[in-house]
Chain A
Amino acid sequence: MSDKSLPAVNYLKIPDDGNPYLEGHKCGNCGAVFLGERSVCSKCFSRDNMSAIKLEETGVLHSFSVVYRSFPGIDVPYISAIVDLDGGGTVKGNLINIEPDPEKIDFGMKVKLTYQDALGRKDKEGNSYLSYFFEPA
């Protein structure tokens, strides 16, 4: 078992010295930004032209749903949000620290990333995980 929290997804980076961040992979030819490592761009098909970039911490809410029914054991309601990050890249995640009421959530609202424990979820070995969330900026 690790004595440190592990990243919930492979594009969440936790440096030994410094703050966690989300990593994108940007095409050097067309500028498309992907989550996760890859060697070929699915937009312009150029090869071996990808480089890792640190994604911005802020963005705007593109779309969302308030989820009232999920699988057993998952707390509801919560907001599932699609966010366009400033500087490129679209990320999906929970939007927290705002009432999960569709009337109170504005499209285009500014949000920022926050990194927190993954709702207490642990793997079979008992490891803890760090995840990312969005909150109003």
Chain B
Amino acid sequence: MSDVYVLGVDMIKFGRFPDRTVPNIGAEAALMALDDAGLTIKDMQAMYCGNLGQANAMVGQRILQEIGQTGIPVVNCANACATGATAFREAWMSIKAGIYDVVLAVGVEQMGKGLLGGAGGGDGIPKEGLLGSGTMPCVFAEAGMEHSKDHGTTFEQFAKISVKNHHHSTMNPKAMYQIETPLDVVMNAEMISYPNTKLMCSVNVDGSAAAVLVSEKKAKELGMGRAVRVKASALASDPYTDRDLVMPDVNACTRLAAEQAYEMAGVGPEDINLVELHDCFATAEMLHYENLGLCKDGDAGKMIDEGHVELGGKVPVNVSGGLLSKGHPLGATGIANIYEVCTHLRGEAGERQVEGARLGMTHVIGLGTACGIHILEKV
């Protein structure tokens, strides 16, 4: 089977674009990725499009209606917050399978503001606030509190993650915010769902990201100069665990995908130079240090306390600013984090460059549950 390479990849600066359409926002990133690859829509043999909010509305085709209707197959996919990673993985699989040599993956979302989630709809009466809370800040707070229970993790340690990611975003011009956010500001922000304050919740933004994936044959033909090798692609659903159907288990799903990704890549966590992981809430990032094997179980608090996950640390995490400050347009996130890692592997990340980065990991998790992990390698 051919190795698969990212030849072009880009994202738009995340923001709020209420006057634009979803396909229009997606088209912008698609064109940017094509330009980055030095190719045109005429070169694409298939398109994989990730979007959640209009999952039944043919977003991929509508993007092509804006940038070039060549008649290629288009697959639209939705997989909660793993939507973008799933679209990218479908593109990767099509090349792995030997069907195509050049394909386009796009992730796009237009979000609106406010709380996501909510406990049980259906018949009868609303359940939110009656049978606990199904809002995302609460669900991830409960997951974080499980870590507090087992390891004594504190509100302050969770809050430090948000300080770190906001700091990183000051060096990323494509992030929604570039604002230093000190610990007291994070901890004194409006409490949404303990221990997640407003500044420990990801920012709802509009955004898009896209990648051009090619076979090894095509990469050699077009020039490997800025190509990035996809060393592993893993996607897991939630394996059975005792509480999963009541309290979604983001840990087991991530561990399953991580194990598969490391095995496929033939590397271990100690080989990874940077990670873009799913910090939908500050509490979530803490869990994933351990889930991805970046430290031993119980040592996640130390990872943030001792600076190992900051830019310049042992394994910088979310140097883009993460979902907490770069923003989280659900369907775009999984490709935006691939853009970030590729940018470092290409040595083009400017002020926030992770020096000497050769291997990077991306991770997203969508509740329900889907976990997508990619390991990318400098060529």
Question: Which positions in A face B, CB cutoff 8 Å?
Answer: 6, 8-9, 32, 34-35, 42-43, 62-71, 74-76, 78, 80-82, 84, 90-94, 102, 107-108, 118-119, 121-123, 127, 129, 131-132
State whether A8 and B131 are in contact (beta carbons under 8 Å apart), knowing that A68-B192, A102-B194, A107-B149 are contacts in the complex: yes
Interface centre among A32, A42, A69 (most CB of B within 10 A): A69
- In the complex, which of the residues A71, A81, A108 contacts B132, with contact meaning CB atoms closer than 8 Å? A81
- Closest residue to B243 on the A side, CB-wise? A90
Jot down 15 A-B pairs with beta carbons below 8 A, ordered by A.
A6-B124, A8-B125, A32-B242, A42-B240, A69-B190, A71-B128, A81-B132, A82-B243, A82-B246, A90-B246, A91-B246, A94-B129, A107-B145, A121-B125, A123-B123
User: Using Cβ atoms and an 8 Å threshold, which residues of chain B touch A108?
Assistant: 149
- In the complex, which of the residues B138, B246, B247 contacts A67, with contact meaning CB atoms closer than 8 Å? B138
User: Using Cβ atoms and an 8 Å threshold, which residues of chain A touch B132?
Assistant: 80-82, 92-94
Given contacts A68-B194, A107-B145, 15 further A-B contacts (CB under 8 A): A6-B124, A8-B130, A65-B142, A66-B191, A66-B193, A67-B193, A69-B137, A69-B190, A69-B191, A75-B129, A92-B247, A119-B129, A119-B130, A129-B124, A131-B130
User: Using Cβ atoms and an 8 Å threshold, which residues of chain A touch B190?
Assistant: 68-69
State whether A65 and B138 are in contact (beta carbons under 8 Å apart), knowing that A94-B131, A119-B130, A131-B130 are contacts in the complex: yes
Number of interchain pairs (Cβ within 8 Å):
129
- Closest residue to A43 on the B side, CB-wise? B240
- Closest residue to B146 on the A side, CB-wise? A63
User: Using Cβ atoms and an 8 Å threshold, which residues of chain A touch B246?
Assistant: 35, 82, 90-92
Question: Which positions in B face A, CB cutoff 8 Å?
Answer: 115, 118-120, 123-133, 135, 137-138, 141-143, 145-146, 148-149, 155, 190-196, 240, 242-243, 245-247
- Closest residue to A7 on the B side, CB-wise? B124
* Distance between A114 CB and nearest chain B CB, rounded to angstroms: 13
User: Using Cβ atoms and an 8 Å threshold, which residues of chain B touch A35?
Assistant: 245-246
Q: Are the C-beta atoms of B142 and A80 separated by less than 8 Å?
A: yes
Q: Are the C-beta atoms of A82 and B247 separated by less than 8 Å?
A: yes
Compute how far the CA of A34 lies from the CA of B245 in the bound complex, rounded to whole angstroms.
Answer: 8
Minimum-distance CB pairs A-B, first 9? A80-B132, A65-B141, A74-B129, A107-B149, A121-B125, A66-B194, A80-B133, A92-B132, A90-B243
- In the complex, which of the residues A34, A75, A123 contacts B125, with contact meaning CB atoms closer than 8 Å? A123
* Distance between B128 CB and nearest chain A CB, rounded to angstroms: 6
State whether A64 and B142 are in contact (beta carbons under 8 Å apart), knowing that A35-B245, A70-B133 are contacts in the complex: yes
Q: Are the C-beta atoms of A63 and B149 separated by less than 8 Å?
A: yes
- Closest residue to A66 on the B side, CB-wise? B194
Q: Are the C-beta atoms of B131 and A121 separated by less than 8 Å?
A: no
User: Using Cβ atoms and an 8 Å threshold, which residues of chain A touch B127?
Assistant: 8-9
Q: Are the C-beta atoms of B124 and A92 separated by less than 8 Å?
A: no
* Distance between A9 CB and nearest chain B CB, rounded to angstroms: 7
Interface centre among B126, B133, B149 (most CB of A within 10 A): B133
* Distance between B269 CB and nearest chain A CB, rounded to angstroms: 26
Q: Are the C-beta atoms of A68 and B129 separated by less than 8 Å?
A: no
Interface centre among A8, A67, A108, A119 (most CB of B within 10 A): A67
Compute how far the CA of A63 lies from the CA of B140 in the bound complex, rounded to whole angstroms.
Answer: 11
Compute how far the CA of A75 lies from the CA of B118 in the bound complex, rounded to whole angstroms.
Answer: 14
Compute how far the CA of A82 lies from the CA of B119 in the bound complex, rounded to whole angstroms.
Answer: 13
- Closest residue to A30 on the B side, CB-wise? B240
User: Using Cβ atoms and an 8 Å threshold, which residues of chain A touch B149?
Assistant: 62-63, 107-108
Compute how far the CA of A132 lies from the CA of B124 in the bound complex, rounded to whole angstroms.
Answer: 15
Q: Are the C-beta atoms of A63 and B120 separated by less than 8 Å?
A: no
Q: Are the C-beta atoms of B133 and A122 separated by less than 8 Å?
A: no
Q: Are the C-beta atoms of A63 and B130 separated by less than 8 Å?
A: no
Q: Are the C-beta atoms of A63 and B194 separated by less than 8 Å?
A: no
User: Using Cβ atoms and an 8 Å threshold, which residues of chain B touch A78?
Assistant: 129, 133
User: Using Cβ atoms and an 8 Å threshold, which residues of chain B touch A63?
Assistant: 142-143, 145-146, 149, 247
Q: Are the C-beta atoms of B192 and A90 separated by less than 8 Å?
A: no
User: Using Cβ atoms and an 8 Å threshold, which residues of chain B touch A81?
Assistant: 132
Interface centre among A34, A107, A108 (most CB of B within 10 A): A107
State whether A131 and B131 are in contact (beta carbons under 8 Å apart), knowing that A62-B243, A65-B141, A69-B115 are contacts in the complex: yes
Compute how far the CA of A108 lies from the CA of B127 in the bound complex, rounded to whole angstroms.
Answer: 25
Compute how far the CA of A130 lies from the CA of B106 in the bound complex, rounded to whole angstroms.
Answer: 47
- In the complex, which of the residues B120, B130, B138, B141 contacts A118, with contact meaning CB atoms closer than 8 Å? B130
- In the complex, which of the residues B115, B141, B146 contacts A70, with contact meaning CB atoms closer than 8 Å? B115
Compute how far the CA of A119 lies from the CA of B99 in the bound complex, rounded to whole angstroms.
Answer: 57
Q: Are the C-beta atoms of B128 and A74 separated by less than 8 Å?
A: yes
